[in-house]
Every structure is written in C-alpha cells, then in structure tokens.
Chain A
C-alpha cells in the first residue's frame, strides 16, 4: 500500500514519538518506581503494600528521607556517603592523572612496549574482579590496608585505568599536535610543550574520562563488600546491601529506596550537566579504543 508523502511523514513522526516514549519509559520507569517506593511508609511496607504508588494512608511523606539523613540510627549510611564521595573522587583524580600520562605516550610517542601497555589494559578491563578479592583480602590484611580508604582507592585506580587510558588516547589523537611542535620550535622542551600547550587542549577529554572513572568507582560492589567491614571505609553500595532498619528481619524496602535515591542523585546531576561529554567518552573509549 502506497502512502502519500504527507501521510508517510505523519506515520514516521508517530513512530518516532512512540519510540521516544518507549525509550523514556524503559529508562525512567524503574527510577520513578524507586522514588515512589521511597514515599511508602515503613509500616505499610512491613504489612505488605503492593502497587506502584503508595496506597492511601500508606504514604510517608518525607519521613524516610528525614530518618535517613538525620536519625542517629542511620549515621552509618551517612558515613558511607562520605566514604563513597571521598574514595571515588580520590581514585578518579589519581587514576585520570596517571592515565593522562600513559595516554599521551600512547597517542603521541612511538616506543617499544606500546602494544604491551594496550594489551595489558585490555586484559585488565576484562578481568573478573571476583577472582582477585581473595588474594587481595589476604594481601591487604597483611599490609594493613584492609578496611581503609587506600584499600579501596588502589583497586579502583587499577580497574579504571584501562577505561581512562582508552578514552584519553582516543581524545588525544584528535588534538592538533602541530601546536606542540610549534612550541618546541620556540624553544620549549617536550615536557613544557606538553604542559603549557597540550594540557589545556586535552582538558575536555580528561574531564570525560574523569566522569566515567567516577561512575565506575561509585558503582563498584565486589571490592566494597570484600575489602571493608566497618563504616571506616564502607561505600554506599555495600552499605545499602547491609542496610538494617527497625525490623531486623526484613529489608526496610521504603527506607532502602530512599537510600537508593540519595545514592543516585549525584549520578543524575552529573548526567544532566555532562550528557554530551559522557556519550562522546563512552563511544570514543569503547568503539575506538
């Protein structure tokens, strides 16, 4: 059946709207659900309160959030937010700094062992982290890194380096390196040229790598539960999985949902502000890497 041009346009536009609706529904429904759940009252949850939205009388208003952020009982969770932010930030900064050096060398310099670096990075990106927690736990308890911030920062750095190196070297390849040579002609050493000319140009790529690295560290669970045991270093995902409410036998679903929302807010903020960069970084790192 042939469609006239106008009708065809309309069908295409309708299909587009439907497609967009499906994508948005897919992405946002579970998020809306967890927000909705966080407004169910704890009593309603204990007695069972099926349904997407809080039942009438089963709503909690902001109570769950208030408890979570101010009640003494949940000081551990608040501490884990601090841990997660601190550990993820430090790991991100250090990892990106080190990756920047390596990526510069890979994108810019010709040297023996480049293949080795790239291959190592590739293998580590595929590494099953669970197979490392045993020996790492054993090493950490001997060195005294168990249940400390550095005890998590170090593995996070190692496992985010491949992603950071790929993303950065992909970005660095796009940089007009002639400018560096121009600077060198003007008498700057290679190191000065790198620092004064290239670093500012590379900043957007570095920033993208930083966001992706932060996502990884923020999301990690295996190291978080295996290499910590108290609030001294326990990050948010581990803290959520051990979450205890007033009823010691059941997970306090609605309170946990509130915690989950709190843990997701920083990510949503990052995504909102840096959407374009993240998309560019993901595709650059993975497809071109």
Chain B
C-alpha cells in the first residue's frame, strides 16, 4: 500500500543526508532494523504464520474430534463454503450491519463533533462522557442493550410508544438486528465523533467566515466549505469504522448467539472452528474472511479515494 509516506522530520534531512558519508547511513539502517525487528517479528508471528497455517489446513477435511480421519481434499472446502447459502446470508448480514451502522455513526457522530467543536462550556464533562462508551467493554454494551430490550426486565418496551410491553425483540430477525446495531452504534459513535472533531479542527475558520460574509446559509457553509475540507478525515473515519464493523462478533455472541439468522461472517467462522472443531472448513472460512476484509478495504479506498497521506496533511 503506497498510502503511507515518510514523516516530515526525516524528509527535511534528506539533502544533508545524501551528502553525508555512507557509514552513517549504514549505522542508521542497522539501528533502525534492530529497533523495528521486535515489533515486526511479533506482529507476523501472530498473524502471518497462523494465516499460512490456515491456508494449509483449509486444504484438508480435518475435525479435531476425529483427528485420525484427516484427509487432503484440495479446494473442496472452499467450494463447499462458497456454494452454501449460509455463507452468503451471513456475508449479507455483515455487509448490511456495516453499511447501516457506519451511516448512523457518521451522521450522529458528525452532529456530536459539531456540538463539541462549538462548545464553550462543560468541555471536559462532554469529552469525558463521550469517551465512556468508547471505553466500555463491547460485551458489557451488548448485555446493557440486551437487557434494555428484554421484555421481562428492560425499559425499551415501556418507553417506546406503539410497542407492546410483551414485544420480544429477540424473537425475529428484524428486531434482533435493530438491537444488535443499537449496541454497536452506541459504543462506536463517540470514536467516530472524535475522529471527525479532529477533522473539523483542520477546517480553517477564515474560510467559513468568508463564506458567511458572502451570505452563505448555514447549510451552504456546511456543504460547500466544511465537508469538502474535512473529506480526508471523514474518509479515514469511515474506512476504520467500516473494517471494524465488518468484523462484528462480540455483540452478536452476547445478544442472540446467532439465533433468527443474525449471524455475521465472523460468528460463522468462530462456530466452525471453535465450537464444531472443524479445522478444515473453518480454516477455509478464515481465509475467505481475511480476503473479504481486503476486498472491503480495497473498495473503500478506491471508491472513496481515501488517501491516508491526505489525512496526515502531508500531500
């Protein structure tokens, strides 16, 4: 990925360094490698190595409860997964969760960011509060919302008009999904709003003032001046959150355990590997999950032309 660029500090030294002796360059290179090595080794040990192993295992029919029956089956695990309606249903669920939650987080998060940006009082209080959902464990958020929606111990049914007190949110697909997404949106909107706040801070006040003087309405200023100027921040926030939402697992595990067709692709993979001990097909799903994340990342980067370098204001 060519979206990362060298930091300023080192770039400014380039001309001087070019002229410097190669000895120094060599020392610097070797020091840098030593400094970076532990991080690289550790990151690859826990990701690349297992991923390669998953790639290998995915070619076998292999169940942990019958290890002696392990058998090479080529690509047939991939065929089984890709031709299964369950795989596509869960992928569909995951994509829907991703789109809906990111949309709401973006809208609500932007509103929150505007409030925080203009805030003249209670700054500390608001910022402290907004960090609490971010810090709350996802599992706790899942429980809080599950109990809130529960018809025996929750308050949502009592507060919402047009909803009977007996209504069971977890009895069917639509309402279960709403509950899951409510928890997801609640927990992650603050994160989104902080990223957007940083973006807002980059929009020059002079430009807004100038637009004001020209007689632009509030909406015109928003669409013509503010949003275009913080596009990079928005896109980075969307990229990060979308990839995070695509991996949704905790909330589903806690709230429905996949009942009523509310499984995500992560949950499906987890069940094959950890609950059913089907390491063969489970590994194939792991590989597919990884590939699909790459596809999502690629699509977002290409379609929205996210430029991480832009976000760093270094372009």
Contact = CB atoms under 8 A, between A and B. Distances in A.
Size class of the A contact interface (CB-based, 8 Å) = 35 or more
6 contacts: A20-B115, A45-B152, A110-B6, A120-B43, A124-B43, A240-B143
Contact of B250 (A120, A138, A218, A237): A237
A76 interface: no
Contacts of A34: 140, 143-144, 147
A105 B46 contact: no
Contacts of B282: 134
Q: Which of A237, A270, A276 has its CB near the most chain B CB atoms (within 10 A)?
A: A237
A240 B247 contact: no
Nearest to B113: A23
A155 interface: yes
B136 A31 contact: yes
A50 interface: yes
B279 A134 contact: yes
A133 B51 contact: no
Given A130-B270, A131-B289, A139 B50 contact: yes
Contacts of B119: 16, 20
Contacts of A48: 152-153
Given A45-B153, A133-B274, A241-B139, 16 more contacts: A22-B111, A27-B129, A49-B153, A106-B36, A109-B28, A111-B33, A111-B36, A130-B289, A135-B283, A190-B31, A218-B137, A221-B253, A240-B137, A282-B194, A283-B194, A283-B195
A287 B297 contact: no
A99 B127 contact: no
B185 to A, nearest CB: 10
Interface in A132-156: 132-139, 154-155
A97 to B, nearest CB: 9
Main secondary structure of the interface of A (DSSP, over half): helix
A132 to B, nearest CB: 5
B219 to A, nearest CB: 15
A104 B39 CA distance: 12
B194 to A, nearest CB: 5
A264 B264 CA distance: 26
Contacts of A98: 38-39, 42
Contacts of A101: 35-36, 38-39
A221 B290 contact: no
B216 interface: no
Contacts of B254: 241
B43 A161 contact: yes
A158 B249 contact: no
A33 B246 CA distance: 28
Interface in A87-142: 98-99, 101-102, 104-124, 126-139
B153 A37 contact: yes
B302 interface: no
A284 B276 CA distance: 42
Contact of B131 (A107, A177, A263, A271): A271
A119 B1 contact: yes
A260 interface: yes
B240 interface: yes
Contacts of B33: 111, 113
Contact of B135 (A117, A215, A283): A215
A232 to B, nearest CB: 18
Contact of A226 (B14, B143, B267, B274): B274
Contacts of B118: 16
Contacts of B36: 101-102, 105-106, 111, 113, 117
Contact of B311 (A120, A154, A159, A288): A288
A19 interface: yes
A131 B157 contact: no
Nearest to A97: B38
Nearest to B278: A134
A263 B152 contact: no
A268 B132 contact: yes
A23 B112 contact: yes
